[in-house]
A = this chain, B = another copy of it.
Amino acid sequence: MKNIGVLTSGGDSPGMNAAIRAVVRTGVYHGMNVYGIRRGYQGMIDGDIQLMQTTDVSNIIQRGGTILKTARSKEFMTPEGMQKAYEQLQKHGIEGLVLIGGDGTFRGAVKFFEQYTIPAVGLPGTIDKDLSGTDLTIGFDTAVNTAVEAIDKIRDTAEAHDRVFVIELMGRDAGYIALNSGIACGAEDILIPETVTHIDELLNKIEADELRKKAVHIIVVAEGDDFGGATEVHASITERFPRLDVRACVLGHIQRGGSPTYTDRVLASRMGHAAVNALRSGDTQVMIGIVNNEIVHTPFTNVIKGTTPISADLIDMIRILSV
């Protein structure tokens, strides 16, 4: 394989640039031409493609976002879009692809790869960590640390005012960011999609704490929690305790950005390196994952968006430590 392309797709996540750097440099090292495809599949259709040199990825390992930009493409979901995309790959002689993004990035393109027989390897680039086949996704570690720093700041105010704060973190389908941020910040309650939220228990706990003069509560809630987000939780609390000083806070997009942590940089570097090696060895149509600190390959068709159950032991611990 002589010419390969690399793209980022879906929501951006910190570490994508480190992955791009690793793909480009590993490819070049092995004598390949590595083409950067900008704006994901839409850029592929539009021919927004250019050859990348080793120096094009200098000094980007520490940058958030993605220098290749990312986008969603409806056109790519059509036969005409796929045909155009294929023609652009042909035009540049691109024989293989490295795809960095969430499950939609690989699974949404499986049909395309099959129809046009394109070898492809995926990297899990998403802050949500909601993919099977890997213990970690690129961006998760940074996102949790960003959330933790923000919650630490909010706790300063909560402690100063004896307030209740309901803080909503990202995670439409998975509660990993909320769960880990919540433990790390000593949150009094953590509401996630993986467990059933009993709002009455939460309210009773607040009442009990008020009685024993523990007035500070940090409640961390994943945006995809079954009961609702910060707005819904806030409403329930103020309805029951109208005199309590309760604030809701949606942390929002700051969780996606920022300079990646060392974990995300090393992970992205290893995965980008492994992706090119997988393309070279013909082990394709797989997502690169990391399981127990070893690189593993999972066929695209087996990559499932979802979460694993939270262990009873961990839930126990959370309850004990957040008194």
Binding site for B on A (CB under 8 A): 8, 11-12, 14, 16, 21-22, 25-26, 28-29, 39, 54, 59, 61-66, 69-71, 135, 141, 144-150, 152-157, 159-162, 165, 180-181, 183-186, 247, 249-254, 256-259, 261-263, 265-266, 269-270, 273, 292-293, 314, 317, 320-321, 323
- Asked if B65 and A12 make an inter-chain contact with CB atoms under 8 angstroms apart, the answer reads no
Distance to closest chain B CB from A78 (angstroms): 18
Distance to closest chain B CB from A168 (angstroms): 10
- Asked if A261 and B145 make an inter-chain contact with CB atoms under 8 angstroms apart, the answer reads yes
- Asked if B265 and A183 make an inter-chain contact with CB atoms under 8 angstroms apart, the answer reads yes
The answer for the CA separation of A12 and B245 in the assembled complex, in Å, is 14
- Asked if B259 and A152 make an inter-chain contact with CB atoms under 8 angstroms apart, the answer reads yes
Instruction: Kindly list chain B residues whose C-beta atoms are within 8 Å of the C-beta of A165.
Output: 253
Instruction: Kindly list chain B residues whose C-beta atoms are within 8 Å of the C-beta of A157.
Output: 11-12, 64-65, 253, 256-257
Q: Which of A141, A148, A254, A314 has the most CB of B within 10 A?
A: A254
The answer for the CA separation of A222 and B149 in the assembled complex, in Å, is 23
- Asked if A257 and B152 make an inter-chain contact with CB atoms under 8 angstroms apart, the answer reads yes
- Asked if B321 and A154 make an inter-chain contact with CB atoms under 8 angstroms apart, the answer reads no
Instruction: Kindly list chain B residues whose C-beta atoms are within 8 Å of the C-beta of A323.
Output: 25, 28-29, 54
The answer for the CA separation of A45 and B11 in the assembled complex, in Å, is 46
- Asked if A253 and B183 make an inter-chain contact with CB atoms under 8 angstroms apart, the answer reads no
Instruction: Kindly list chain B residues whose C-beta atoms are within 8 Å of the C-beta of A254.
Output: 150, 153-154, 249, 251
Instruction: Kindly list chain B residues whose C-beta atoms are within 8 Å of the C-beta of A262.
Output: 141, 144-145, 147-148, 180-181, 183-184
- Asked if B261 and A261 make an inter-chain contact with CB atoms under 8 angstroms apart, the answer reads yes
Main secondary structure of the interface of A (DSSP, over half): helix
Additional A-B contacts beyond A62-B186, A250-B250, A273-B321 (12; CB < 8 A): A16-B160, A26-B320, A26-B321, A29-B320, A63-B156, A64-B157, A65-B159, A65-B160, A148-B261, A153-B256, A153-B257, A249-B253
- Asked if B320 and A25 make an inter-chain contact with CB atoms under 8 angstroms apart, the answer reads yes
Instruction: Kindly list chain B residues whose C-beta atoms are within 8 Å of the C-beta of A148.
Output: 62, 261-262, 265
A8: nearest chain-B partner, CB-CB: B160
Instruction: Kindly list chain B residues whose C-beta atoms are within 8 Å of the C-beta of A8.
Output: 160
- Contacts A162-B71, A184-B265: A156 and B26 contacting too (C-beta < 8 A)? no
- Asked if A160 and B265 make an inter-chain contact with CB atoms under 8 angstroms apart, the answer reads no
Instruction: Kindly list chain B residues whose C-beta atoms are within 8 Å of the C-beta of A28.
Output: 323
The answer for the CA separation of A265 and B292 in the assembled complex, in Å, is 20
The answer for the CA separation of A148 and B14 in the assembled complex, in Å, is 15
The answer for the CA separation of A8 and B292 in the assembled complex, in Å, is 29
A260: nearest chain-B partner, CB-CB: B184
- Asked if B258 and A161 make an inter-chain contact with CB atoms under 8 angstroms apart, the answer reads no
Instruction: Kindly list chain B residues whose C-beta atoms are within 8 Å of the C-beta of A293.
Output: 135, 292
- Contacts A148-B262, A153-B256, A186-B61: A273 and B161 contacting too (C-beta < 8 A)? no
- Contacts A153-B64, A254-B150: A69 and B317 contacting too (C-beta < 8 A)? no
Distance to closest chain B CB from A312 (angstroms): 13
